[in-house]
Each structure stands twice: as C-alpha cells, then as structure tokens.
C-alpha cells in the first residue's frame, strides 16, 4: 500500500475548515433553513434501488447539521488531499490496509464486491456452512436422541455476537417459516446469561454454535463448557454430545479437542475482522433463521459497496457521513454520537455501532507511529425510539451538552402505529434542531391560561436550546436488502474517518490489555497489580468465603 499519509492538520483544507467553524459556531440551525430554502433537497443523498431504479433504497438527509455548501466543499477537498480515493482503491483491491497486522481487510469479498486476496478463497467453507445452516433450517439435523435440532444457541462475544444478534432480531420475524429454528444468543460470562437461555431450552433439540475465531476467547469458552455440562446432565454421560455442537473457528484442532466434529467446524478468512464478520460464517445463525434472504442481505451490502466505490465524493453517502462526523468531532467539539433507530428490530443497532466505531477508530497512534493530536472516534450510545424519548431525550432537549444524532427510520407499511413511529422520529429530529426559546415558552404557558406570575416562573423551565445536529436515514422498510445496505454504509463511514485521521480501523490491540490483566488476576498474580486492584481482589475473595 502506497503511503501518502500526511497528518491531517498539515493539510490546507484542514486550516480552511477551522475558519469555517469559527464562522458558524453559535449560529442557530433554523436560520440556515430560513436563509436557504433549497437546503433540505441539496443536502440529501440517496442510494438507488437495484430493482426499481427510479426509487430510492436509502435517503440520507444531512441538512440538519451546522454546515453549508462552503463547508461541504472544503470537507470533500479534505478527503481529496488525504488521498481517500487511494484508500478506497486499496480497500477494494485487497492491499494491506490493516497495516499493523500486515493483511487486507476484504470482508466485502464475502458479499461479492471484490475478489478475495491472492491465495485465499471464500468458496469451500461458505458452501459447507450454507449446507449446514439450511439442513438445520429444514429440520434435517438430528440430535443424539433422534429428534431434529430445532433450537440454535449462538455462543460468542463481540463481533461473533453483536452482528448476528442484530440481524437476527431485525429479520427473523419477516423471513421465518414453520421449520425455522429458534435462535438465541449468549455472550456474557455472567452465568445468568446462559442460564436464562437454558431454562427455556430442551436438550434433545438444542444445538450450540461456538463462535470464536481463535477458539480461545475466555467468555465464549466458559459458556461453551457450561453448555457441555448441561447437555451431559440432561442427556446422560453416554449421549453423543458432539451431535449438539458446531463451531465457527479457525482453530480446528482446538475445536475438535473440545468435542466438535470436524465437518461441523467452519473457518473464516483471516482477512475478515470480527466486527465485520456477520457476512461470513459468523452469520450462520442468521442464515439458519432467514434462509435464502441472507443473499438479499449480502446484495444490500454489495449495493452500498458499489455506491461507495464508484460514486463521486460529491454524491457519496458513506463519504458524507464520515466527513460530517469528523466535522462534528474535530471542529464543533461534539464528543458523542447517539444512534436512534426507530424500529424495534434494530434495538441492538446502537450496541453494534458502538463496537464498529469505537473499537475501530478509538485509537491515538497514527500510520507513521506518531500520536494523534485530534479526537478520533466519538463516544457512541443510543437506544430505540420511541422508548428512548421517555428515557434520555430529556438531556438532548435541555442538557448542557451538544450531541450528534443519527435517526435510522424504516418507513414500513401505512399502519397507524407504524405511521406514528415514523412521525415521532421526524418530529424529534425537527424539535431537537429548532428548540423552544423563552418567548415561545411563555406563549405555551399562556395558552394554558396560567397567571402572569406563574408564566414568568415556569418559562425558563420550558425553554429548550435546540441546535442538536442530526442525520436522518430513511429506509422504505426493514428487510434483508436495506439492512445489508445500512450496515455496509456504517462500515464505510468508519473507513473514511480512519483514513483521514491516519489510524488503522482493523486491529484492536487495546482490548488485549484488559484481557491480559484479567488473566493475571485469574492466575493469582495480584502482586503485579496496583494497590487498589490488589485490595479489591482480596475483598472479593473475602466475600466468596462468606457465601
């Protein structure tokens, strides 16, 4: 990979953008609309539908951000000066964009958007995984007692859990049939997580899928062992426990030593990172749950890949999403991003996005080994609407912090509750931008017929600052194609930002430090810990002795 990296602050466009930020900071967002009636249309982009070219598959409205045409033009110039076009080319041609680990990040090959790196293939393992998933879906996999396996429990954590969990929750109800297996997910090492699943399970028809690339993840192996003990207790020590296990792992010998049959171990390419792996064998639970619709999911990802790869920056949705996010983070000092999906099926989307953004771009070391002087990934949080409106939206309206907002809104059928859901999403985005000033608060109280003194007392408490910037992503409906496009959109957003910041979004060395310290504690190496940790470990041990 040719390295044309320049520290962002040294780019001409970076300095120009700083001047634009000084020009705009403090300006109320509604005035931008008042001064520019065509703003909403001009600052919206769309991904076309491959089935109906005249209709949009995703519409992205960026007009509620504190920017104008001059800012957008300079952001696009920043992308050019940072050689983002080269980065996209390297990503899709299998070059070593994962530069710390010396390999490609070609997860797009799993959805047919680029060839796998030389000497690699996606074919054989993918075919075997598909055959296994469809056999499970069709009721053709038999457990040790002769009963068909009708319940799949995915045991994984991180990328081996969040992606498959999100997609299964979003799509299972839409594509399930009478033979579809029930799919559950276990991730937490807390015994209550797997216990809750086992309590509603029948050992005779349950299959456990152990998803761990290394087959060495502590939480996953602890839960897999708990599942094995439960099966033995339920089915008897002489039962064929191996009939109730499968694995997605590259450590085939280790998985086989655990008791998993070799033909039930499905590897995934090394160039597919965990948080990008739902498109690969890690997606086996999704394939079992939704069947052939998995190909529509891949097609949605492919459509967004093609849009990202071929569309000029001036109309490129992932490029705009990444650049505007960078603008908010580094120029407007907005440190958090709230993901607000208005669909119950997307309730796990904020957790998925947390890992994607913060594990990918939560780093400070640049490609040249120097330390970033800029903020990189924002703090990502959120929750599903409309439930979030009755929880944390109060802070968005009247708190002291600026928060960037992403509203994800599948429109769906014209049904009263669904219509109300969409109306709530659009209204919240509008209200959080417009706010309510002191005079409007007084007028609202006057309409209630309150005395003048009471109006003056309460008016400050009704005032909402507004000016919370937001992106709204409208999808025609929540189905496999549109979900695939949505997830790929955010994958590419992360890449855009990482390339300009100059960090590697495909490793996660920081995560390893916590694992190492946990292993040290487990081995009793308390002397290597700080005084606080050593004392807390001793107190925890004393509590155990009391129980």
Burial pattern 406-445, b for ≥16 Cβ within 10 A else e, equals: bbbbbbbeeeeebeebbebbeebbebbbbbbbeeebbeeb
Give SS3 for 290.
helix
Burial of 372 (0-12, 13-18, 19+ CB in 10 A): middle
Both tokens of residue 140?
């053709």
Catalytic: which of 225, 314, 454, 515?
A: 515
Q: Which of 508, 537, 217 is nearest to 528 (CA)?
A: 537
Active-site residue, selected from the candidate residues 390, 413, 461, 516: 390
Task: Write phi, then psi, for 519 (nearest 5 degrees).
Answer: -65, -40
360 close to 376: Cβ distance less than 8 angstroms: no
Q: Tell me how many degrees the CA angle 121-305-44 measures, rounded to the nearest 5.
A: 170
- Residue 428, both tokens: 């919240």
Catalytic, 253? Answer no
Report cis status (omega within 30 of 0) of the bond before 182.
no
Whether 515 is catalytic is yes
Burial 496-534 (b: 16+ CB within 10 A, else e): bbbbbbbbbbbbbeeeeeeeeeeeebeeeeeeeeeeeee
Among candidate residues 74, 169, 359, 491, the one labeled active-site is 359
Listed in sequence order, the DSSP H helices in 374-437 are 393-398, 416-434
491, 496, 500, 504 alpha-carbon torsion, rounded to 10° = 30
Write down the residue that tokens 């000029």 correspond to: 312
Q: Hey, which residues are catalytic here?
A: 359, 390, 515
């Amino acid at each position: 990979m040719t390295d044309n990296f320049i520290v962002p602050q040294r780019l001409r466009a970076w300095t120009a953008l700083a001047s634009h930020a000084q020009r705009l900071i403090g300006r109320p967002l509604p005035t931008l609309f008042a001064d520019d009636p065509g703003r909403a249309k001009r600052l919206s982009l769309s991904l076309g539908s491959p089935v109906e070219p005249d209709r949009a598959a995703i519409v992205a409205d960026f007009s509620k951000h504190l920017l104008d045409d001059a800012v957008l033009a300079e952001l696009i110039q920043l992308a050019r000066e940072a050689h983002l076009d080269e980065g996209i080319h390297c990503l899709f041609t299998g070059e070593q964009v994962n530069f710390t680990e010396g390999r490609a990040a070609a997860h797009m090959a799993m959805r047919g958007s680029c060839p796998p790196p030389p000497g690699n293939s996606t074919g054989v393992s993918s075919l075997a995984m598909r055959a296994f998933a469809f056999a499970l879906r069709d009721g053709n996999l038999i457990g040790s007692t002769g009963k068909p396996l009708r319940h799949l429990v995915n045991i994984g954590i991180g990328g081996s859990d969040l992606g498959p969990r999100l997609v299964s929750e979003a799509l299972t109800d839409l594509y399930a049939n009478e033979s579809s297996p029930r799919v559950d997910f276990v991730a937490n090492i807390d015994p209550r997580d797997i216990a809750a699943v086992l309590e509603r399970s029948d050992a005779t028809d349950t299959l456990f899928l152990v998803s761990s690339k290394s087959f060495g993840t502590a939480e996953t192996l602890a839960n897999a062992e708990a599942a094995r003990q439960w099966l033995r207790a339920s089915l008897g020590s002489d039962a064929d426990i191996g009939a109730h296990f499968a694995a997605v792992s590259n450590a085939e010998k280790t998985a086989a030593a655990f008791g998993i049959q070799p033909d039930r171990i499905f590897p995934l390419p090394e160039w597919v990172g965990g948080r990008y792996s739902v498109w690969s064998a890690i997606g086996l639970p999704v394939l079992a749950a939704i069947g052939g619709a998995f190909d529509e999911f891949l097609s949605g990802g492919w459509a967004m890949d093609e849009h990202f790869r071929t569309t000029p920056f001036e109309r490129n949705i992932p490029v705009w999403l990444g650049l505007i996010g960078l603008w908010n983070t580094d120029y407007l000092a907005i440190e958090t991003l709230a993901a607000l999906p208005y669909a119950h099926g997307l309730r796990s989307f904020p957790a998925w996005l947390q890992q994607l953004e913060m594990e990918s771009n939560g780093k400070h070391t640049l490609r040249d080994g120097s330390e970033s002087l800029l903020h990189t990934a924002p703090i990502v949080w959120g929750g599903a609407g409309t439930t979030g409106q009755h929880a944390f939206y109060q802070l968005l309206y009247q708190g002291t912090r600026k928060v960037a907002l992403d509203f994800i809104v599948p429109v769906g059928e014209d049904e009263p509750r669904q219509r109300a859901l969409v109306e709530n999403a659009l209204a919240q985005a509008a209200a959080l931008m417009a706010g309510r000033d002191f005079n409007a608060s007084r007028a609202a109280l006057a309409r209630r017929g309150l005395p003048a003194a009471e109006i003056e007392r309460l008016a400050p408490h009704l005032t909402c600052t507004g000016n919370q910037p937001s992106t709204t992503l409208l999808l025609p409906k929540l189905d496999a194609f549109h979900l695939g496009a949505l997830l790929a959109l955010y994958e590419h957003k992360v890449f855009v930002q990482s390339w300009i910041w100059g960090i590697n979004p495909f490793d996660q060395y920081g995560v390893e430090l916590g694992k190492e310290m946990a292993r040290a504690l487990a081995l009793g190496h308390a002397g290597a810990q700080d005084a606080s940790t050593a004392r807390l470990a001793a107190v925890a041990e004393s509590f155990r002795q009391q129980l």
